[in-house]
């Protein structure tokens, strides 16, 4: 099961913004919070296209598409090692 960056931050016992800052500094994600292609190819991340439809004033009521970086279970384990973090609940990281 792939996880959002916020969910991964909780697994590591840190904040979402702190995790994102570390990933940007290491070049793992870009300024749009999307992973570098090499990490997608390695199976650590996936990118999902989602639609925001809660605001009827956006795009004449047609919603807004956006991309979300998701971390795979392999990516969670790799990030923990790469960042020197402990996974707080190993069962959730499987």
Spatial separation of the C-alpha atoms in residues 59 and 67, rounded to whole Å: 17
Task: Note the pLDDT tens digit of each residue in 32-84.
Answer: 999 999 999 999 999 999 988 777 777 777 778 899 999 999 999 999 999 99
CB atoms within 10 A of CB 89: 10
pTM strictly above 0.75: yes
- What is the rounded average pLDDT for all residues in the chain? 90
Q: Which residue in 82, 93, 92, 85 sits closest to 15, CA to CA?
A: 85
Give me the residue spans of the domains in the chain: 3-89
**More reliable by pLDDT, 16 or 56:** 16
pLDDT at residue 91, as a whole number: 59
Kindly indicate the confidence band of residue 92, based on its pLDDT and cuts at 50, 70 and 90.
low
């Amino acid at each position: 099961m792939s996880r959002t960056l916020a969910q991964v931050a909780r697994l590591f016992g840190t904040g979402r913004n702190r995790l994102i800052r570390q990933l940007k500094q290491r070049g793992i994600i870009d300024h749009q919070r999307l992973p570098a292609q090499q990490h997608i190819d390695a199976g650590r991340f996936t990118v999902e296209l989602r639609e925001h439809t809660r605001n009827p004033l956006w795009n004449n009521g047609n919603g807004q598409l956006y991309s979300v970086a998701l971390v795979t279970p392999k990516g969670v384990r790799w990030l923990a090692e790469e960042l020197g973090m402990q996974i707080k609940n190993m069962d959730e990281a499987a």
